[in-house]
């Protein structure tokens, strides 16, 4: 259902995303969703009470903060595959490493990987240029054409709940 206050810009963006999601499965042009989240790590302040007959193991609710981990997830709905990587931080370099892993490890034979993602500040081609100087990206990464679909704010601002992408071609890639 399209939001009642939708304008032409929103409708055009939504149709673009829906076209991407309705592409038939093609292993040469996989459509993958990319997102990330952080998770606070905690450490027990007291030793848990062990399990006993009729009693589960018991933990105190008091804990000590023990850092944060970042979870990167790649999900290819039409192939029912997902990959999760855990890092200690979320930087442009971490994002670039995930994109390199995406094309070098998970999709080495794809002609182009279509990445649907939100518009987090590191989710952009500039992050790739921070990690790899122009013209110095690893061979397979440069040969694999990547289209990054982003601009989340348009659909979050005007759209519904979890829908958050419109088409934007980056890295000189054209849509398939």
Interval 78-102: pLDDT, tens: 999 999 999 998 898 998 889 888 8
Q: How far apart are CA 86 and CA 153, in angstroms?
A: 26
* Other Cβ atoms closer than 10 A to 89: 11
Does residue 157 surpass a pLDDT of 80? no
37 beta partners:
71
Q: What is the number of structural domains in the chain?
A: 1
Interval 22-36: pLDDT, tens: 889 999 989 888 889
Residue 153 · residue 116 · CB < 8 Å: no
Check residue 166 and give its pLDDT.
31
- Asked whether residue 170 is assigned to any structural domain, the reply reads no
Does residue 175 surpass a pLDDT of 60? no
Check residue 42 and give its pLDDT.
87
- Asked whether residue 45 is assigned to any structural domain, the reply reads no
- Asked whether residue 42 is assigned to any structural domain, the reply reads no
Task: Say which residues have a Cβ less than 8 Å from residue 154's Cβ, sequence separation at least 6.
Answer: 9, 10, 13, 166
Check residue 164 and give its pLDDT.
34
Parent domain of 152? 8-37+63-158
End-to-end CA distance of the chain: 27
pTM over 0.75: no
| Confidence at 52, pLDDT banded by 50, 70, 90 | very high
More confidently predicted of 26 and 123: 26
Q: Considering the chain, what is the average pLDDT of its residues?
A: 75
More confidently predicted of 133 and 156: 133
**CATH number, domain containing residue 112:** 3.30.420
Question: Helices in the chain by DSSP H: which ranges?
Answer: 8-21, 92-101, 125-131, 139-143, 152-158
- Asked whether residue 171 is assigned to any structural domain, the reply reads no
| Confidence at 62, pLDDT banded by 50, 70, 90 | confident
Mean pLDDT within 69-75: 93
| Confidence at 72, pLDDT banded by 50, 70, 90 | very high
- Asked whether residue 108 is assigned to any structural domain, the reply reads yes
- Asked whether residue 19 is assigned to any structural domain, the reply reads yes
- Asked whether residue 165 is assigned to any structural domain, the reply reads no
- Asked whether residue 168 is assigned to any structural domain, the reply reads no
């Amino acid at each position: 259902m399209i939001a009642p206050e939708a304008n032409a810009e929103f409708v055009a963006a939504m149709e673009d995303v829906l076209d991407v999601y309705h592409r038939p499965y093609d292993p040469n042009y996989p459509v993958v969703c990319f997102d990330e989240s952080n998770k606070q790590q905690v450490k027990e302040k007291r030793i848990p009470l062990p399990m006993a007959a009729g009693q589960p193991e018991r933990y105190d609710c008091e804990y000590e903060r023990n850092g944060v981990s970042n979870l990167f997830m790649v999900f290819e709905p039409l192939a029912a595959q997902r990959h999760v990587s855990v890092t200690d931080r979320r930087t442009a370099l971490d994002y670039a490493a995930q994109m390199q892993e995406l094309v070098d490890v998970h999709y080495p034979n794809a002609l182009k990987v279509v990445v649907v993602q939100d518009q987090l500040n590191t989710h952009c081609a500039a992050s790739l240029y921070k990690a790899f100087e122009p013209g110095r990206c690893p061979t397979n990464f440069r040969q694999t054409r990547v289209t990054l679909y982003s601009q989340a704010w348009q659909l979050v601002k005007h759209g519904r709940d979890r829908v958050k992408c419109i088409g934007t071609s980056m890295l000189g890639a054209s849509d398939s």
